[in-house]
Amino acid sequence: MNLIVGATGMLGGEICRLLRDRGEPVRALVRGTSNPEKLSHLQSLGADCVEGDLKDAATLEAACSGVTAVISTASSTISRQAGDSIESVDRQGQLNLVEAAERADVRQFILISFPHFDFDFPLQSAKRAVEDRLRLGRMTYTILQPTCFMEIWLGPALGFDFANAKAQIYGSGQNKISWISYRDVAKFATESLDNPAARNAVIELGGPESLSSLEVVKIFEQVHGRKFEIQHIPDEALLEQKNNASDPLQESFAALMLNYSAGSVIDMRETLQKFPVQLTSVKDYAQASI
């Protein structure tokens, strides 16, 4: 049995779909407050939905019972309920899950994290605390560290409004990022199950090429056949936002934007030899956005 924590989220939902397509058993951790449409979608896939919350260790014991592998994509950064925070979910909640999985003799724990960034911020320190705990534990661990998801950072929620030919760019837009599709991250997560290359491994993940944001805009302009209006958010404004943030979440968002501005290049050649994943390009994504 595979337990997916974060199953009602974008990435976790895709992982459930891929596993069920392969005919593998899926137990999905859901909450009473989870979106009912997402819940019924998981049920229609044939996932066994169990109620639980990362903040409630007792529910995790039950969820981990009889499980061989846990894949955790959960995070409080976007989908939050009362009491959810980076501290209670991304740090302590994930630590609760690792403890529960260990007690239930789970064989493998796959955590979705992100690559190392040079400056400290609460979400990074939470992710690293969970990674450190996994390294010290008894389970086989796989820590996947994808860089920016194209569907998020090149999507309207973060100001990349391709439908209206407007692009908000963090920083100069000249530093390169290995943009990755969350669907490919889901493939790496499922391909990590029982893959010897994923045993006790930390694997950075990126897309097939690294492109600056300005190069990305050019691709979209070609594909959409129109000029984009670009608005830059300068590093100074992001730094000010990070330094004056009113809470750890706002500080973390500003830090993630600064990371985008600085660029994040991942060389995938070695990883692709061990994982048979056909990576989605920014051009593929742009063409699908028409």
Return residues touching ligand NAP (CB under 6 A): 6-12, 29, 31, 33-35, 53-55, 73-76, 78-79, 84, 89, 93, 112, 114, 146, 148-149, 152-153
176-177/211-212 β-pairing: antiparallel
| CB of 185 vs ligand NAP, minimal distance in Å | 7
Which residue number, 54 or 139, has a Cβ lying nearer to ligand NAP?
Answer: 54
Which residue number, 43 or 244, has a Cβ lying nearer to ligand NAP?
Answer: 43
| CB of 172 vs ligand NAP, minimal distance in Å | 20
Buried/exposed 208-237: b ≥16 CB within 10 Å, e otherwise = bbbbbbeebbebbbebbeeebeeebbeeee
Helices (H), 30-75: 36-45, 57-64
Cα(44)–Cα(97) distance, rounded to whole angstroms? 26
Cα(187)–Cα(141) distance, rounded to whole angstroms? 17
**How open is the CA angle 288-265-232, to the nearest 5 degrees?**
70
Which residue number, 206 or 286, has a Cβ lying nearer to ligand NAP?
Answer: 206
| CB of 56 vs ligand NAP, minimal distance in Å | 8
Greatest CA span in the chain, whole angstroms? 56
Which residue number, 129 or 222, has a Cβ lying nearer to ligand NAP?
Answer: 129
Residue 116 in tokens? 């190392």
| CB of 113 vs ligand NAP, minimal distance in Å | 7
Cα(248)–Cα(266) distance, rounded to whole angstroms? 27
Which residue number, 152 or 237, has a Cβ lying nearer to ligand NAP?
Answer: 152
Cα(22)–Cα(36) distance, rounded to whole angstroms? 25
Q: How many CA atoms lie within 13 A of 122 on its CB side?
A: 23
Which residue number, 26 or 196, has a Cβ lying nearer to ligand NAP?
Answer: 26
| CB of 225 vs ligand NAP, minimal distance in Å | 27
Q: What is the number of the residue whose Cβ is closest to ligand NAP? A: 9
| CB of 74 vs ligand NAP, minimal distance in Å | 3
| CB of 112 vs ligand NAP, minimal distance in Å | 4
Which residue number, 228 or 253, has a Cβ lying nearer to ligand NAP?
Answer: 253
Residue 72 bridge partners (DSSP) = 5, 111
Cα(154)–Cα(168) distance, rounded to whole angstroms? 9
